């Protein structure tokens, strides 16, 4: 008999029964508006911090040198000084450097992705002694700064006679623990039943890898490939150390040639030459940013 008296109270909104007005979830409407405004302001600041250096590079590449360091800064060039690109191109053998960078980047990235796929498949689907211990050692190696291994790598390359050659630049970069780690984490999320069904059908490991695992891992493979391409295109230290002639230099190293022995630097030409290096990477990033973000997020949340 007491039910009719209590039903209207249960049908009332939670805010009315608790007496807290519209403060559902602990925040009032003005608080949510202020929070959203602060969020947008933060996003705008982060966006400007990312875009301004790129804009400054592009605008300075067509400025006369005298306008690059004036204060207050001139954001829009008074005239387009295209001579900077001509001076930059004539200051170093950029044509040869483009060829070297393309060879090093493409061959190096393909080799790195092949090694990463095979090693990650072995860590996930093969059984061998001390597998977890070996993987832990690889992870520990990832924490070692790259500059620490420069000297041992150079001594090894020198003993092999690979100094000032494509092999000396490319081969030491084939082993990437980061790429192997990302692919391993993704392969661990694949259903084990699919692999077992392939074994029942008589498929070996290479056939299983090629026909089942790789198609299912395509987004992560694309992500690792793009990251490898950008990393090798921008690599500076190792190609600088292992090469000693202008014909084997790559684009990032070529920027050093724009500085004269007397210390004079034509900054307009330097900015134009930097565009030679940066623009191909920006084009790749704009076309592939969706795959990079999706792949890295997938690797971070699964496994």
Identify the band that residue 7 occupies on the pLDDT scale cut at 50, 70 and 90. very low
Q: What is the mean pLDDT of residues 239-255?
A: 89
Instruction: Work out the angle at residue 232's Cα, subtended by the Cα atoms of residues 226 and 238, and round it to the nearest 5 degrees.
Output: 160
pLDDT at 46: 94
Q: Is the pLDDT of residue 18 over 70?
A: no
Burial class (CB in 10 A: 0-12, 13-18, 19+), 106: middle
Across the chain, mean pLDDT equals 82
What percentage of the chain has pLDDT greater than the value 70?
85
How many Cα atoms within 13 Å fall on the side-chain side of residue 55? Answer: 11
Of the ranges 67-76, 185-194, 201-210, 234-243, which is most confident? Answer: 234-243
Left (φ > 0), alpha (ψ -120 to 50) or beta: where does 161 sit? left
pLDDT at 26: 59
> Would the pTM count as exceeding 0.85?
no
pLDDT at 105: 93
């Amino acid at each position: 008999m007491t039910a009719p008296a209590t039903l209207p109270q249960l049908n009332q909104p939670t805010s009315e029964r608790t007496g807290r007005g519209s403060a559902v979830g602990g925040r009032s409407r003005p608080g949510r508006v202020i929070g959203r405004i602060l969020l947008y302001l933060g996003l705008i600041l982060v966006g400007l911090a990312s875009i301004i250096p790129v804009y400054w590079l592009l605008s300075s590449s067509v400025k006369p040198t005298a306008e690059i360091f004036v204060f207050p800064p001139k954001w829009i060039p008074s005239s387009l000084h295209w001579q900077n690109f001509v001076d930059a191109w004539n200051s170093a053998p950029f044509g040869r450097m483009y060829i070297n960078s393309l060879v090093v980047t493409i061959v190096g990235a393909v080799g790195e992705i092949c090694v990463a796929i095979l090693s990650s498949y072995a860590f996930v689907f093969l059984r061998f002694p001390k597998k977890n211990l070996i993987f832990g050692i690889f992870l520990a190696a990832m924490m070692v700064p790259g500059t620490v291994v420069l000297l041992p790598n150079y001594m090894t390359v020198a003993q092999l006679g690979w100094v000032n050659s494509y092999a000396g630049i490319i081969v030491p970069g084939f082993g990437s623990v980061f790429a192997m780690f990302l692919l391993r984490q993704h392969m661990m999320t694949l259903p084990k039943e699919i692999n077992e069904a392939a074994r029942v059908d008589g498929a070996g490991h290479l056939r299983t890898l090629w026909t089942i695992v790789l198609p299912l891992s395509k987004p992560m493979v694309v992500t690792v490939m793009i990251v490898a391409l950008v990393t090798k295109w921008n690599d500076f230290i190792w190609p600088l150390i292992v090469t000693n002639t202008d014909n084997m230099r790559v684009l990032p190293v070529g920027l050093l040639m724009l500085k004269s022995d007397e210390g004079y630097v034509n900054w307009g030409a330097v900015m134009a030459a930097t565009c030679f290096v940066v623009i191909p990477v920006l084009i790749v990033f704009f076309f592939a940013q969706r795959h990079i973000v999706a792949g890295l997020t997938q690797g971070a949340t699964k496994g």
